[in-house]
Structure 1
Amino acid sequence: MRGLRSVGILSTGSYTPERVLTNADLEKMVDTSDEWVVTRTGIRERRISAPEQASSDLALEAAKIALEKAQVRPGELDMIIVATVTPDMMFPSTACILQDKLGAAKAAAMDVSAACTGFLYGITTASQFIANGLYRYVLVVGVECLSKITDYTDRNTCVLFGDGAGAALLGPVEQGMGFLAFDLGADGSGGPLLSLPGGGSRLPASSETVEQRQHYISMAGSEVFKFAVKVMNSATEAVLEKAGISKEEIDLMVPHQANRRIIDAAVKRFGLSEEKVVINLDRYGNMSSASIPVALDEAIEAGRLKEGDNVVLVGFGGGLTWGAALCKWSTREAKE
């Protein structure tokens, strides 16, 4: 019986909208200040999609870059997985819309809804299809237009979120390289702590749900913060243990970009130097499922990753969900 393939990320791409919303801009909208936002979150500005832009539009730009880097044609894609909580519409899936825009006619397509952990759920799922030989190329895109569901009268949430898209093309790599371990988890009992109540089958859209602002993000910030610090640590420890790698062997950590204090707590826990941690939330805020792939793409473009480096991707999100992936970095595709 043929063994499982090793799976890695062959290329990445990212896209963020042109419009920049700064803390100074928010000071004119709600009772807040640049100092308040930076001290509590580390965020200075975020990107906002244009009125005519939807998640599939952002995803398309990131996907095209990733495919071009790998010199893989859309027609060669076997599957597209889009991680998002801001789909273009309830259905069809944003992945199907993206498949059509790309011209990836033979690709299966589906969305994954795991909030800020969505990209990690996506690459974990994609890896299984490639490892067992069913597919060769799977495109995973984390994309959000969170500005469309952010309540800009709520100073506790509107300072946090931004829009963007990050894409990763997964495929077979040389044996022993690529992903070494994954860890995914969920605690549905914490679902009400971070949610968008209106618009589904529980609370269908109505004049009442609109009046009660139930079509915007609702978050219990302090509870989510405590959860995040705990699971960032436990998920990272889990993938290190599964792979038999010590925390001293981590070459780069790419955490979900939600809050600088959460990242700092994880960094302290693992004794990492700042050079080993990717942080860009000061420029983008929390882009949910797009935050990890955008940060990873920027790290690659900045030359912060080399062949054989041990890279940890780790995040948490609504659901409540969490996840981590450990990768021995290689973009060299295995030839068969």
Structure 2
Amino acid sequence: MPLRRQVLAAAAVLATPPVGAQPMKIRLGTATPGGGFPVYGAAFIDGVRRLDPALEIEAINTKGSTENVPMLEAGTLDIALIQGEVAHEALAGIGRPPADLAVVTAMYPTAGMFVVRADSPYRTIADLLGKPVAWGARGSGLVILGRYAMDGLGYDAAKDFQPIYLERAGDGPAMVLDGRAAALWGGGAGWPGFVTVARSEPGARFIAPDAEGIRRILARHGFLKEVTQPAGSFPGQTAPIASVGSWSFVMARPGLDGAVAYRLARALGELAQAGNPPVQLVDTTPANTVKVAPTGRLHPGVVRYLKETGLL
């Protein structure tokens, strides 16, 4: 198909609402302002609206993944953003009864790492031992990822560092820049905390486990995966960074209408097909969802869409 016809066809798809779509309103739980989840949530809502304007999504700031799970279970949220380690613990029933939640879509992979000022003396994780480290907001799944990663290295995130837990994720970068924290833990392409530090003077340095550290972490916590953050994910980051992490998910409350899940899956799938999705949604594709979603946890409405498109 000539390029002009491809562009026109994509525009037609974006301009055509689903046949017979009924107006619906659902609630999406994100996290505290200043973190990656609210940014992703805004892009998610914008992307779905392009394809299904009758499906209204209200973003609700929460304390993060660890609050989103019980809010989904209580039905006070319809869908929510859940970081990979929190999803793993909730579905497996680690420290709690197993959660009856379903996956709507994979979001993106998160490579956990630290950011420090470029003029700081810190170059390895061992250099940060005993130093003040901002692990993130208490309800954030990134805090749990940090705990698992440090445990795999033989460290205790709460004891071998001076832990700082934030009321708002957006407070972390300023603490690194003014010296109250030696480092900020986080992850995810374009993560706001990392971007803020990287854009400041004197810039940023990123610290992640080395190859032996990654091997040790994965040997101890097999549900984690090696994840590489591509070069250019943050200002001044000229080389890829290998670390550990997992995929985050959009998950649904028990009993979410299959028609709603189908419409969400359809909108996201057609957005990916049309090309040029919001940058935060580049990895939010049906193919990635099939590849990384926990076995048997896809919402039936999503399964219906995936079967119609030949992905299942």
TM-score (norm 2): 0.31
TM-score (norm 1): 0.29
